[in-house]
Structure 1
Amino acid sequence: MGTGGSNIKLVMSDIDGTILDSAHRVDDGLKETLEHLKEQKVPFILASARSPKGMYSLAEELGIRTSPLACYNGALVLKEADSESHQPILSHEMNKTEVGVIVDIIKDRFPEITINLYSGEDWYVDKYTRWAEIEAGITKETPIEKNVQLLMLSAEMPVHKLLLIGTPQEIERLQAYCQALKLESSSFYLSKENYLEVTHCDVSKERALLELASYYQVDLEETMAIGDNFNDIPMLKLAGLGVSMANAPIEVQEAADIKTFSNNENGVSKALQKYVLGTK
């Protein structure tokens, strides 16, 4: 973790709570700021727990379709934010046996939990519950209704992420139960109090930043990472300049080198202007 913001050659940023305000609108100073980053040939890479389809429209809106996307917190990193090409730079897939164990447990012991399974660009649900409807409203995606247990029988279908949604109390119980299983290659974390995300244990935004710095042949000291939540902490610590949002929990702010304005105050574009472009 560095202390200087000069000579930044690559930027990785979280989406929700970071470039999006509390009404899910994009930082309105960001598109113009990113045009200046392009002139300096500084890649701006979106990194999120979202699927590719949940990120394409944002990349389009920001004019960065030719930049990579770190989807599913880095489980799938695409070369371009373009649904036509869909060329992966890296893909960390879940262990299918472990996915089957988790799905079977939920069906048997936690039937009220909504199972969302993500494979490449596709989002699958057993049934379109109110939780799936809420997630669809946020990401502007439509899930495919299929029997998730039957999907697991398809040997060629990779699983990049499970998103398990219920009430905070249900999710707390499910997380405790799953972690007690001590599954060898699955990692569990909360992205919201009622959202339990499951990916391969090697997956993280930190790993994605490391891989992309190598891909662009940029030293880590020349990278900037911006985020607002606990799963952003390793990325903030690894980057040459870790930037937390003012709306981030105090532990996240303490893990960063600097704090910018909140997501409701165009914090990302202001940080880029000040620490990358040197204009404000």
Structure 2
Amino acid sequence: MYKMIAIDLDGTLLTDELAVTKDTATAIRKAAELGVVVTIATGRMYPSAQHIALELGLEAPMITYQGAVIRSATSEEVLRERMVSYEIAQKCIHLAAEKQMHIQVYQDNVLYSAVDNEQVKAYSKEVGIGYTVEPDLLGLAKKGFTKLLFIDEPEALAPVQEELQTVLGDAACIEKSKKRYLEVTHPDANKGSALAFLAEELGIDRSEVIGIGDNFNDMDLVKAAGFGVAMGNAVDELKEIADYTSLSNNEEGVLHVLNKFILEPRASAVEASKK
């Protein structure tokens, strides 16, 4: 019996309309009532994930900012936090300026952009979180960032990702979370290491954990889980390493996983115990 399931948000739990279907929400609540730890594992900032978790009634610590922050939706306690150093942030900000590319940063659960442009406006609308314009991102960087995010077309991001990986090496975690999103976090801030940490904290063995996602930033999550699931709409690279491929996010792929691997096995066990 699986005791924990960690679910990505965009492209996984959320439909393309950025909604959780009614049946999926019901199944999540039912799994939680049965004692299963249901948690969110997202690249989104904490306040954005918190809003969704509260709607679903989730109380387990959440993995946010790609694994940089683990914190419950209902508690002030931070179980783990990994910040990007000033040196790494400085290199990213300089590179963004050199490439004339949008970059936004996260600090103390606030989203900052040096300019008020279409990229940050669209992002803010998508995740339902406001932002603050601060021209001096380097000044902010001295306190450390939870995450930095480059936003541009895929063909523009590809060489930037390659350059960052060459320059930064193992000093940072550099991952695509969407076609137009390239994220930079602390080297230990990925969904896989966060999931392993959280499971250990909760006394749950890796073999009892399901991890489900759809994109490159979910690779570590799927590998760290005892049973890794790729959505039907996932990138091919994730499907190749997953133990199972579900339906797409618009076909209630998370609901399918909850029913097949958590709710139905428990119902069968109850029936068997009555015989």
- Normalization by structure 2: what TM-score? 0.90
Aligned equivalent of 1:16, options 10, 13, 16: 10
Aligned to 1:129: 117
Aligned to 1:206: 192
**Cα-to-partner distance string for 1:151-201 (whole Å, 9 max, x where unaligned):** 124xxx331100011233332332233233235512222222321110111
Aligned to 1:48: 42
Residue pairs, 1:98-247, within 5 angstroms: 98-107=88-97, 109-111=98-100, 113-146=101-134, 147-153=136-142, 157-247=143-233
Work out which structure has the larger RCO, using CA pairs closer than 8 Å and 6 or more positions apart in sequence. 1
Is the Cα contact below 8 Å between 2:229 and 2:242 reproduced in 1? yes
Aligned to 2:271: none
Residue pairs, 1:39-78, within 5 angstroms: 39-64=33-58, 66-78=59-71
In structure 1, C-alpha distance between the alignment counterparts of 2:214 and 2:67, rounded to whole Å:
16
Give structure 1 regions of 4+ aligned residues with deviation exceeding 4 angstroms: none
Aligned-residue Cα RMSD (Å) equals 1.7
Is there any run of 5+ residues in structure 1 with no aligned partner, and where? 1-6
In structure 1, C-alpha distance between the alignment counterparts of 2:235 and 2:153, rounded to whole Å:
22
In structure 1, C-alpha distance between the alignment counterparts of 2:225 and 2:173, rounded to whole Å:
22
Q: How many residues are matched?
A: 265
**Cα-to-partner distance string for 1:6-27 (whole Å, 9 max, x where unaligned):** x111110111110111121113
Aligned to 2:234: 248
In structure 2, C-alpha distance between the alignment counterparts of 1:237 and 1:172, rounded to whole Å:
24
Identity %: 29
Relative to structure 1, the CA distance from residue 218 to residue 62 in structure 2 (aligned partners, 3 Å threshold; closer, same or farther) is same
**Structure number with higher helix proportion:** 2
Relative to structure 1, the CA distance from residue 207 to residue 115 in structure 2 (aligned partners, 3 Å threshold; closer, same or farther) is same
Is there any run of 5+ residues in structure 2 with no aligned partner, and where? 269-275
Aligned to 1:28: 22
In structure 2, C-alpha distance between the alignment counterparts of 1:228 and 1:218, rounded to whole Å:
24
Matched, 1:268 2:249: no
In structure 2, C-alpha distance between the alignment counterparts of 1:33 and 1:276, rounded to whole Å:
10
In structure 2, C-alpha distance between the alignment counterparts of 1:101 and 1:244, rounded to whole Å:
33
Give the residue type in structure 1 aligned to 2:126. Answer: I
- Structure 1 position 209, deviation (Å): 1.0
Is the Cα contact below 8 Å between 1:98 and 1:183 reproduced in 2? no
Give the residue type in structure 1 aligned to 2:103. Answer: I
Is the Cα contact below 8 Å between 1:120 and 1:158 reproduced in 2? no
Is the Cα contact below 8 Å between 2:173 and 2:190 reproduced in 1? no
In structure 1, C-alpha distance between the alignment counterparts of 2:85 and 2:127, rounded to whole Å:
26
